[in-house]
Structure formats: structure tokens, C-alpha cells
Structure 1
Amino acid sequence: MEGPIIVTDVNNTPQPDETDDRSVPEASADPDVTFDSVGEAFAAFTDGPDAVDETAPPQYGVGPFSIREAALGGAWVIAFIVSFFPIYSVGSSSVWTAGIDWVLTIGVPTVAVFLLLLRRLSPQGIRRVGSLGIDQFASVAFTVSMVVWLGILWASFVSLAGQRLFYATWVVWVEFILMLAGVLLTVFAPLFPTIGDDFRYRPEVPAHRVARPARPIVARPQAPRPVHTAPAASAAPAAETAAPVGLSSADASPAADTTQIIPLDTVAAGVVVAGDEPVEQVEQQLDTQSAPAASQAFWALAPLERDVVDESGATIFTIGPTAWALVIEDRGDSFVVRHEDGRIGYLNDVSGVTRG
């Protein structure tokens, strides 16, 4: 494969404090790490941090393996050999020939045991499976396998109660007991005095980003609801004796002889001619004069619980610091507040109110 492979912060190395005198390589401070091959990138994803507690007492075992690892390997060897025998009383099929049941019953525990052996025999080998350590992966593997074998036994008891036929052989019982032993040697191993030494005096290392505590979830702020204001009342109709558009009151008097009739199409076009000089468009003038000042609604949060009253001063509802209130009009010393059910009142005390 050509070109470098970039992996972002694969080891999640924490940044040291400014007071720390230990020298840190520049590559550890850079969140982007470049690899020259797929093998190096895969090793970075499956590798774990190196850390050894020098003050811990020596741990003795069986050769290069701890007592717990040796016992777990012995249980797996027996389970692997027994898995080739028939698991059902009808027929002669083993778990390897009964579909893909071998994946969870014996395949995943086999991978877990090989990873445990590889961790001891090859310290630079795979020490992590995704966000799980080798021991965590082994706990999951043997637990899942035990549950699957238990499911076969449960189905056999159900068949025995209904059809008087128990189709599970002795292989299922042996596999279930061995996988249960694997759960005791992985999940509950720290509770035992001897095999629990394998988990004591282990140094603390940064957790994988997937295994870290989840971030808190906060409520998304709601957008203010659109407020539809009623149109302003139209102006009273002009008197029938009012001057036509574009003419002054003096021109509209009966004594004036120079009154000019304005064609309707000219008025509709928005241009009115008074004498020889054009004036501004009539529609723009009317819109500018009759358009009321717009008041934009906003959200407000009162620091304390306060009453919203009607025009007579009676309390309609209250607002407080636990929820935002919708203000549809700001009158300076008071707010016009709208409730969720449509009620509208006045907030006279607006001191310390936070605008949203």
C-alpha cells in the first residue's frame, strides 16, 4: 500500500503537567500519528501502554504464565478436545458441524486463550482488542460461551418436559462446566486469594476513549416560536370632500379653477404629477406612514418566581428560574408575556431578567 496511514491519538496519551520535569517525545504531544505500513497501524490499534510497577512483590507462576492463566489454558484444552464429540443424542454432529454455533461456543474462547498466551510469549504482540484489554475480552468470551451452552441445556429440559426427550449429551454438560470455570477464572478471579494475585499491583494506565465515562447530555435550547401579530387598524376613511391624491387642500377648494384631474392608471402606477414635477410614489408613502414599529419576540428567564398579571392587576400565572418565558413585546419597564396555553399578561418587575 502506497502512502502513509494516519491514525488519530491511538494510545490516548495524556498530556503531562507543566510542572513535570520528565521529558516527553514530541510525537506523543501530536494527536496525529503517521504510519508507513498497514502493519504498524494495526499494531497501534491493538497495542497498549507499557507500564510496570517496580515496587510490587515478585509474582510466581507456572513457567512464563501465572497460575490463573495456566488454569484457564488447561480448562480450554479439555473443552477444545471435548468439542469434537457429538452434542446431540440424535445424530453424530459435533459443535463444529452444527452450523456456526462453534463461533460462540468454542471459537471465541479459543481466540481469548491464544491472546493470553501471546501476551506472555510476545510482550510486543496484541495487548488490546478494540477498547477491551486481553483479560476483559477473555471475560466476555467465556461468559458468552457459557450462556450459549446453558441455552442448549435449557432447550433440552424443555424438550424433556414436552416430548420426554433430553437430546443434549454429556458433552454439553462438560462444556458448560468448563466455560463456567473460565468465567470464574476471568470475571471473578480478583475475588480469589491465589489467582487474584494476577490482578494485584497492576499499574494504572489511561483508559481507551471508548471505555471512558460518557459525557453528560444537556437539553437543546428551543428556538423561539413565531409570533403572529394582528394587523394594525386601518386609518379612518377620508371625507368625501378630501383633496385628491397629489393635490393640496387649496387646490381642492371649489374656488380654485386650476384643479387637475389625475388619471387612475397614473395613480395605480405609483407616480403622481403635480404640474410639471414628479413626486415620490404613493404606495411607498402610504406604507411608510401606516406601518407600525415591529416588536421582535424573545425568550426571558426570571431570576426569581414572579407574577404575570392582567390589566386589572390580578395574577394570571407565574414565571420563574426553572423555565424560559416568551416575551412578545418589550415596553421598557414591563414585558408582555405569553403562556404556553395562549394566555397573555404583563410582567411589571423586569429587573435582573436574562434575555435569551
Structure 2
Amino acid sequence: MSTDIPDESFTQEPFTEEDGVLYEEEVAPQHGVLGFTVRELLIVAAWLVVFVTSFFPIGWSPALWTQGIAWILPLGVPTVAVFLIVLRRFSPEGIRRVGSLGIDQFASVAFSVAAVWWIQQLWQYVAAMAQTGTSLNVWVPWVQVVVLLMLVVLTVCAPIIPGLRDDFRGRLVTLAHRNANPVRPVVARPQPERVVAAPAAADEALAAIEDEFVDDTTHDAEQPGFGESMPLTGHASGGALGTAPELDEDYVPGYVRSSRGGDETDEALGQPFWVLAPTERDVFDEAGEALFRVGPEAWVLVIEDRGGAYLVRHDDGRVGYLHDIADITRG
């Protein structure tokens, strides 16, 4: 005796609405009256009660139809839901959704909103009656609330009520509407890495200045007393290359003296030079963010004088703007 095993890959494969071959479960044929199920007929009958009673005065105000557009939520939207339920039986291939909601889902929302609207009206009436002590002959809102709660049961609670849940069994399995699918996870936007590259011209100028400074320092070191009168201090990077002497007010580095030729010229002033800040100061990039700091413990190379700000270069290659150039000692 052989047992047929269903193909699991077939049941896990997604099906579109046009396939028309996959059902939730095997159930007996569904019987009804005039082409409608009992649940659908109850929905239409309840809606007729809501529609007819809407022409009667509410009690503390005229009929619902005379209150501007107040009829849209308590009557207009439920009427659209009932119309779609009826249309679905006459035209199965017609309107199947309202937005991302199926027709039964839309009807559940419509009847729930209408019931809440009428409950709010009754709440206001009871509160006013408690404050004033007056009572009116009010029956329309109570009928509307009771009937709409019945419609909520026939739609929202129907899938769990015996006898009514048969309307939702054995239905054709379809893909959910795109707007009803699970949302995608949200991740933080990656921050771009900030890379500040030193211009090639600045690297070449720095190399030339360093070579000239080393040669000039070697020449000055043959002079007597050099080691005692002018001790060396570290550059911004802390390395031996590019170190500059701690100077008194009358001292000018040799590499600058050799470039001036006795008198300062426009050409000499346009070349890179060293500066020493008397206090700690920030160097900023073009976006205004601090890159590094300069201070009195080390000299820093100025690539270009921008008129009110210096374009300075750190020994690690970073280039930024020194805006606070007050009391700067310039080599």
C-alpha cells in the first residue's frame, strides 16, 4: 500500500492571483441564497437598517443628511463597503482591493469607524444630559450603535465565530498586496570618510625647505658656541628632521636669511615659511571642522598666506587653515 506524499516545494512556491490552483484547505462546497452567503445577507440587512434610520432626526439635532458632510464616516464609508461586498459576487474579477486592504478588511475598518462615531455622539449626549438634567426622546443613535456593532461582529469577529467563519475557509491563496507586505529593515546611513590629501606642490615645497634648512643648520653648527646658545626643539611631528631652534627676538633662521639676500622681496614673501604660535590654536578644514592644533612647543610650516589666514601643513600630510594669526612669530 503506497502513500502519496505532497511535494513540499510546490506548496512553498509563491502563487499569483491568476494561478487559481492553490487553496487553503479542502472544504465542502459553500451554499447560499441568491448567490450570497448568510453572512453577506446579514450585512446587507443590517446596512438597510442603518440607511433608513439615518433619515430620522437624531433627537438633539436634525437628520444626519442635513449636517453638511458629517454623514461621510457614519454612513458614506459603510455604504461603499456594502456595495463592494455585493459587487464582488456579481463581478469576481472586478474590484478586489481598496488600497492595500481586501474588501472584507475594508468593510471591517468602515463599520468600526462608523460605530466609534456614533458612540462619540452618544457620549456627548449623556454628558450634556448629566450637566443640564434634561432628557430628550433619543432612539436613532442607539439603533445606529447596536446595528453597527452587529456589523463589526459580522466582519471583524467573523473568522473566529462558528458558522460565520466558513466564509473565510477554503479561499484561493493569493499574494499579499505590495503595500501590505512586511516592511524592510531600516539601517543607519553610512558616513563618508573624510580624506584630506596634501597638494603635490605643497609636498615638493616642504621637501625643498627641509633640505635647505638641514644644509643651513649643518653650516651654522661649525660656529663656536652653537650648541650652548641655540638648543634645538622638536618640530610639530616630534622628529629630528625639520627641527627649528628656539630663537630670541633678533634671531632669524638661516634658510630665511639666505632667501632674503639682505632685503625682503615679494618673491621671498610668496614662498613657504615657518611660524610659531604663542598659544594653542586650532587649524580647521574647509568645512570648518578642527583638524589639529598648533602651539608654542613646535614650529609649523605655512604653505601659503591667504591674507588674514595661513594655509598650514601638519607633518603627517594634513592641510588646514589657521585663522587666528595674531602675535604669530614668523621665521
- TM-score category by the smaller chain? 0.5 to 0.7
1:282-315 Cα offsets, whole Å, 9 max, x none, are 649x658x9543277xxxxxxxxxxxxxxxxxxx
Matched, 1:138 2:107: yes
> Which residue does the alignment assign to 1:263?
263
Equivalent residues in 2 for 1:57-72, closer than 5 Å: 57-72=28-43
Distance 2:255 2:143 in 1: 108
- After superposition, the Cα gap between the structure-2 partners of 1:185 and 1:237, relative to the gap in structure 1 and judged at 3 Å, is same
Structure 2 gap segments, 5+ residues each? 1-8, 11-15, 197-234, 275-300, 304-311, 319-331
Structure 1 residue runs without a partner (length 5+)? 1-18, 21-27, 29-47, 249-259, 271-280, 297-356
Q: Where do 1:70-219 residues align within 5 Å?
A: 70-89=41-60, 93-167=62-136, 169-219=138-188
Larger helix share, 1 or 2: 2
Q: 1:205, CA displacement in angstroms?
A: 1.1
* Distance in 2 of aligned mates of 1:193 and 1:213: 30
What CA distance in whole angstroms lies between the structure 2 residues aligned with 1:241 and 1:99? 91
SS in 1 for 2:245: coil
Shift of residue 219 of structure 1? 3.3
Quote the offset at 1:62 in angstroms.
1.3
Tell me the distance in 1 between the aligned counterparts of 2:102 and 2:253: 92
- Post-superposition offset of 1:226: 11
Q: CA, structure 1 residues 182+210, in 2 after alignment: closer, same or farther (shift >3 Å)?
A: same
Match of 1:236 in 2: 245
Query: Distance in 2 between the 1:178 and 1:145 partners?
Result: 10
Letter in 1 for 2:34: G
Aligned residues: 224
Aligned to 1:293: 315
Structure 1 Cα separation of the partners of residues 128 and 135 of structure 2: 6
Using the size of structure 1 for normalisation, the TM-score is 0.54
> What is the one-letter code of the residue matched to 2:165?
G
Q: CA deviation at 1:167?
A: 4.5
Counterpart for residue 255 of structure 1 = none
- Secondary structure at the aligned position of 1:264 is classed as coil
- Within 1, Cα distance between the matches of 2:154 and 2:164? 8
Q: Give the drift of 1:263.
A: 2.4
8 A Cα contact 1:156 1:165, kept in partner: no
Q: CA deviation at 1:165?
A: 2.6
Query: Partner amino acid for 2:263?
Result: P
Shift of 1:225: 9.2
Answer whether contact 1:88 1:167 (CA < 8 A) is retained. yes
| Greater RCO (Cα-Cα under 8 Å, separation 6 or more) | 2
Alignment-mate amino acid for residue 207 of structure 1 = A
Structure 1 position 65, deviation (Å): 0.6
Could you tell me how far apart the structure 2 residues matched to 1:242 and 1:146 are? 91
CA-atom RMSD, angstroms? Answer: 3.6
SS at 2:36 equivalent: coil
Q: Give the share of equivalent positions with the same residue, in percent.
A: 45
Judged with a 3 Å threshold, the aligned counterparts in structure 2 of structure 1 residues 243 and 101 are, in CA distance, closer, same or farther, namely closer
